[in-house]
Structures are given as structure tokens and as C-alpha cells.
Amino acid sequence: MTMRRAATLGLGLWLLSASAQAAAAAPGSGVPWWLWPLGLFVACFVMGIVAVPAGIGGGTLFVPIVGSFFPFHLDFVRGAGLLVALASALSAGPMLLRNGLGSLRLALPLAVMASASSIGGAMLGLAMPAQMVQMLLGLVVLGIVVLMLVSRKSEFPQVERPDALSQALALHGVFVDGASRRTVSWQVHRSVPGLFVFLGIGVLAGMFGIGAGWANVPALNLLMGAPLKVAAGTSSLVLSLVDSSAAWVYINQGAVLPMIAVPSVVGMMLGARIGARLLNVLKGSVIRRLVIVVLLFAGARALLKGVGVWP
Amino acid sequence: MKNLGGPVAQPPEQMRYATWLDWGTRVGLVVLLASFAAYVLGLAESHVPVSRLPELWVHPVGRFLELTNSPTGWGWLALVHRGDIAGLLGIAILAGSSVACLLALVPLYLARGDRAFAAVCLAEVAVVLLAASGWLSGGH
């Protein structure tokens, strides 16, 4: 147990020190250009490791942490954040679809709503003053922290009767639960409120460039009644479509810099692979608490930066 | 819930989408990494010298574009031979791969008479293409 705690603490310190080092060196202070993408790669690698056991998307960590502690303008951070979330969701998609943990049928109608609204969110985010976006980002990140602290989960919610729309669209499926080896049939309800919730989620995803798994999973699981694993898998499919639309707005506006986006994507994907392998070694609850503390700090930093208290 | 435990066959459209997505993502990531390697190794001349980036990426995107005379919309295609701009090719493949996957599903849905889902696929394609078209603008 002591070893595990030391390992988790070490990871946390690494994350914080990488961020602090990056923050310490001001732009134009003689720091060679390559140190920034290298620091970004290291920070994203660590974020990728902790994201899996913490049960949070790497994209959700990326924007508040990189936006707060690296010198890049928030426009480029959000563009890169969308690509981090997009690349992760695209990579996970085929496996989730093949084993039935992600339901394409459930994802598609929700993705249409969220994709359309994410375009509006992205345009709004790029049109608003950076300080306003920083402030709103801080509020959203602090909201995510609250959601992580209080949200319940339901492994297999009871859906007595599907609603008319989900019946008409045949929003149901079957998967094998790896833990119990049981074949689970599922269906959903409250699909109309679900569609409206995803409309709002799309705006947030596009505006802030953060992956929206933190909002997708509770909406699919607690509101619509999808089993937790199907909710997590389907959330990833929805993200891959929503972030595609929002990413195009950022690409067309010139807000995607390969020098920021590529080291972030590669670092996060490599880190996530290590994180998945360390899933049984690291204590998920400790990592989750650590991530909550880091997000709390990053959210407060973004909020204070937005209101001009901590520039 | 049944205690069967064996693999469950997923719908054919889901399997087709998985195959197309798998290949689209692989191609996108390979192009992304190859172009980035060429960029940082200096194999292709950059539109914006890498040494200038630290003084430029602190600005909002509008100011960055002014200072670097960089293109917006699909203007980057004309400069795709430049090392930094070439990186956008892999990014565009990743952001566009869903379109091909969705279009591949339409004949399957139509053959089964599932017009509602064929329409949902086409609606999603329309949304992604609208975003990719560059007709919508924002910016500071």
C-alpha cells in the first residue's frame, strides 16, 4: 500500500513539477523553442497515465492544465485540446464498437444534436474575449470537480419501459459484461430530454475544447438509463463525432498549431496506454483524488486569470 | 440478464463503422507523425520559423495570423508543402474520417429499409461538412 501511495504521489508531483517548470520559464527568456513541445509532451504523457485510473478523459485535464501553466494563448490550447480528445476517442472507437460497449445506434442521434451545437460553441468561444473564456472555463472546471465529487453511478439502471422515440429508433443493444461474464440486454428511456442535454453538452465541448465525457456519461447513464459501461463506450463515440465538427472550426480559423497539437496528442495517447496497463497497480481512488486537487487548482487559476486577479 | 458469457454479434453497420474508423484513424495518425517528424527535423521549409513560435503563440489566433500571414479556411492546402502546414493534413484526415465511416453505413441502412438512420447518418455528415466548409466564421 505504501508503495502504491508513493507511486501515485510521485506521479502527482511529476505532473505538478512539469507544469511548474513550464510556468516558471517566461516566453522570450532565452528558453529554446523545443523545450516547450518537449515539456508539453511530458506533461501530456503524465496526464494520459493518470486520466485512465482517474476515470476522466485526458482532454478534460488538458485545457485547464495547459491553459493555466503554459504560455500558449487559450485559442491554441483549445484547438489542441479538441484534437487530444478527438484522437483518443477515434483510437478507442473500433474496439468499443466491436465488443458492444459502444452503441453506434445510441450515439448517432445524440451526436447530430451535439455536433451541430458544438459548431456554435466553437464559434462563440473564438469570438469571445480570451478573459471571458478563461473565466467561464474556470467555472466549468470547478463544476466538473463538483460533479466528480457528488455524482452517483448506476452499473445497470432499471429501464422498465423505453419511451416512444427510443422505441421508434430501436435504441437498445446487447453486450457481454467482462467482470461477471453475463450477457446484458439494455434499452434506454427519456430520449427527448437526453437529446436536449446533448445539445448543451455540444456547446461546452466546442467552446472550451474539453472532451465532454464527464457530462456524456452521467447523461447516458443516470438520465437515459444506459448501463455504465455502455454509457462510457457510447460517450467516446459521441465525442469522436462532436469533436470532429468543432475541430474543423478551429482548423479553419487557424487555431490549430501542429507544434502544440502533435506532442500533446502523442504524449496523451502513449500515457493512456501506460495508464491502462497500470490500472491494476495504481489505486484508482487515490489517483482520482489527486486529479480532483489538480483540477481544483487549475480551475481556480483559470477563474482568477479570467477576472484579472492572477494574470 | 443471461449468464451466457460468449461473444455477442454486433449489428453489421456497427462492425463496418469500426473497420472504416480503424483505418481512417491509422492513416491519420501515420500522416500526422510523418509530417511532424519532417517538420521538426527541418526536412521541409516552414511557413513560420520554429524559433519564432515562442514569441507568436502567446497572441490570440487573429493576431497570430496577421503576424505570420497565415491562411484561414482551406487556404492551408496551397501551402501544404511547408513543414508546419503539412501537419494539418494528418489533423484534417483525423477530423474528416467520420464522414467516410458514416457514408459507408448509408447503403446498409437503406438496404434494410431503415430510412430514419440513413437520414441520421446524412444529417451528421452534413453537420461535419458544414463545419469543414469554412463558411462559418468566428474569431476575435
Chain B contacts in chain A segment 7-46 (CB below 8 A): 27-28, 31, 33-34, 36-37
Could A257 and B7 be called an inter-chain contact, meaning their C-beta atoms sit closer than 8 Å? no
Q: Give this prediction's pTM.
A: 0.85
Q: Could you tell me if A119 lies within 8 Å of chain B, comparing CB atoms?
A: yes
Q: What interface predicted TM-score (ipTM) does this complex get?
A: 0.91
Phi and psi (nearest 5°) for A155? Answer: -60, -50
> Which helix (H) or strand (E) covers residue A288, if one does?
helix A284-306
Structural domain includes residue A287: yes
CA distance A28 to B48: 16
In chain A, the number of structural domains is 1
User: Residue type for A234, please?
Assistant: T
E strands in A22-94: none
Owning domain of residue A102: 2-306
* Mean pLDDT computed over A159-171: 92
Of the residues B13, B35, B48, B94, the best mutation for testing chain A's interface (the one with the most A CB atoms within 10 Å of its CB) is B94
**Which range is least confidently modeled, A254-258, B76-80, B81-85, B136-140?**
B136-140
DSSP-derived secondary structure for A251-276: HHTT---HHHHHHHHHHHHHHHHHHH
pLDDT in tens, A277-307: 776 666 767 777 878 888 888 888 888 888 8
Calculate the dihedral angle through the C-alpha atoms of A211, A214, A218, A221, rounding to the nearest 10 degrees: 60
pLDDT in tens, B89-117: 999 999 999 999 999 999 999 999 999 99
CA distance B117 to A43: 41
Structural domain includes residue A311: no
Of the residues B4, B47, B53, B89, the best mutation for testing chain A's interface (the one with the most A CB atoms within 10 Å of its CB) is B53
CA distance A21 to A4: 25
